[in-house]
Amino acid sequence: MPDADGRALAAVVEKPRAEVATEQLRAEGVYDDARKVVEYGAETVALPVTAAPAETDVREVVVQTDPERRGTTLPDLLAERGWSDAEIERAPGSWAVIGSVVLVTLEDCPREAELGDALLELHGEADTVLAHEGVSGERREPDSRVIAGDPTTETIHTEHGTRYALDLREVMFSPGNKAERARMADVIAGEVGPAVETGGSAGTDAETPERVFDMFAGIGYFTLPMARAGADVVAAEINPASYRYLIENAVLNDVQDRVEAYRADCRDVEVDAVDRVVMGYYEAHEYLDTAVSAVASGGVVHVHEATPEVELWDRPVGRIEDAADRAGRGVEIEGRRKIKSHSEGVWHVVVDARIV
């Protein structure tokens, strides 16, 4: 879309800042989705805008004399490459752009390299297409391979102002949990949900930060937004690669003073009387006894689980109640949410439980 004078404008930024700047330009309402992001020299890119940005920091604003239009859809781009209707039907219907990497699940998709090239054309801000083939083991290690673009898979992803450095071939990142990550920051900021009512805690004293135990911290999925919102977080992570990025990301987001990180099994970290426990792992129920013992009376445990639909909500709630009963404590269920489909007939859910 041209500006008021009919010019095709673009904001020039350094390549590492492209995702952050794009998010800021969208927030300003001046980002132009109809045109491609293109390189502007060896170290910068030109982000298409409908007007000169007033709030986003950019190197300069330039006029594009021959702007490149963005392909309308992936099927359109595949058709241009000679794909038949039957082949297009086998192409993925969804994917995620994480920093400079397009993460996609292929299943039985044909012509992988051509698909990768089309996705790079569709997303000019991306450099790499990575085929995701699952996550395995207690350390949640991804299985993936590059199918197009730059073989480098280390990037910085920005989400609601939180910056995540990661290598997608070494550590997992779930785009579908985006809303829940934002929600946990809002919980800490007091924008949603009831306050934690424990003596001397953040719920009763606005000047005292909430103390949070993030039992499966990863690269800081929940730790970082909660710390940025004002919580003091004890973060446990057993995977060495994820732990390294957790430390790096605390510094990257300037919350290193609010994050106490341990490379350890969360059951081996001595934590007690915290206001909140986050259990962001599908098999979290195996660690419920640890969570219940760590949370103060009146504190909240957020339990993630992959639950068959036929067992909603009896199984996750029942497991929490059993753990509380083993500890001689009571439980009040304050919230329960479907996050996303985990697999056919199975939901990723979160239950918020106040332990008394």
181 is in an annotated binding site: yes
Average pLDDT (283-309) is 96
Instruction: Read off the pLDDT of each residue in 32-51 and give the average, rounded to a whole number.
Output: 89
- Do 335 and 253 lie in one domain? The reply is yes
Query: Shortest CA distance to 96 belongs to which of 175, 17, 178, 16?
Result: 175
Residue 293 pLDDT exceeds 90: yes
Q: Output 202 or 52, whichever has higher pLDDT.
A: 52
Confidence (pLDDT) at 198: 36
201 and 334 both lie in a single domain: yes
Residue 343 confidence (pLDDT) = 87
Q: Which domain holds residue 39?
A: 9-63
Flag whether pLDDT at 34 surpasses 50. yes
> Which amino acid, residue 166?
L
Please report whether residue 109 resides in a domain. yes
* Pair 94, 223 in one domain: no
Q: Are residues 26 and 130 in the same domain?
A: no
- In a domain, residue 133? The reply is yes
Gyration radius of the chain's alpha carbons: 22
Residue 164 lies in a domain: no
Q: Are residues 197 and 340 located together in one domain of the fold?
A: yes
CATH of the domain at 277: 3.40.50.150
Q: Please give the helix or strand (H or E) that residue 133 lies within, else none.
A: strand 128-136
Work out the pLDDT band at 191, boundaries 50, 70, 90. low
Q: Where among 63, 85, 105 does a domain terminate?
A: 63
Residues 347 and 199 in one domain: yes
**pLDDT tens-digit series, residues 309-337:** 999 999 999 999 999 999 999 999 999 99
Q: Is residue 264 part of a domain?
A: yes
Nearest partner of 308 among 280, 351, 352, 344, judged by Cα? 344
So what's the pLDDT on residue 199?
Answer: 36
Report if residue 1 sits inside a domain: no
Residue 258 labelled as part of a binding site: no
Domain final residue, candidates 63, 86, 109: 63
- Low-confidence winner among 55-69, 130-144, 174-188 (lowest mean pLDDT): 130-144
Q: Structurally, how many domains does the chain consist of?
A: 3
| Cβ neighbours of residue 115 closer than 8 Å, sequence gap 6 or more | 78, 91, 92, 104, 106, 109, 129, 147, 148
pTM as predicted: 0.80
Which amino acid belongs to residue 261? A
Q: Are residues 142 and 194 in the same domain?
A: no
pLDDT at residue 135 is higher than 50: yes
Determine the pLDDT at residue 138: 67
CA angle 288, 291, 292 (to 5 degrees): 85
Q: What is the overall mean pLDDT for the chain? A: 91
Instruction: Say if residue 343 is in the same domain as residue 317.
Output: yes
Is 114 labelled as part of a ligand binding site?
Answer: no
What is the Cα–Cα distance from 153 to 231, expressed in whole angstroms? 31
- For the segment 192-243, what is each residue's pLDDT rounded down to a tens digit? 644 443 333 434 445 789 999 999 999 999 999 999 999 999 999 999 999 9
Residues 309 and 259 in one domain: yes
For residue 5, the model assigns a pLDDT of 73
CA pair distance 62, 7, nearest whole angstrom: 10
Considering the domain architecture, whether residues 245 and 217 belong to the same structural domain is answered as: yes
- Parallel, antiparallel, or unpaired: how do β-strands 274-279 and 211-214 relate? parallel
Please tell me the predicted confidence (pLDDT) of residue 206. Answer: 52
What CATH code is carried by the domain that includes residue 89? 3.30.300.110
86-112 pLDDT, tens per residue? 999 999 999 999 999 999 999 899 999
- Ranges 135-139, 193-197, 350-354: which has the least confidence: 193-197
Q: Is residue 38 part of a domain?
A: yes
Strands 38-39 and 44-49: antiparallel
Q: What is the dihedral of CA 115, 117, 121, 125, to 10 degrees?
A: 110
Q: Are residues 193 and 283 in the same domain?
A: yes
Residue 179 sits in the same domain as residue 253: yes
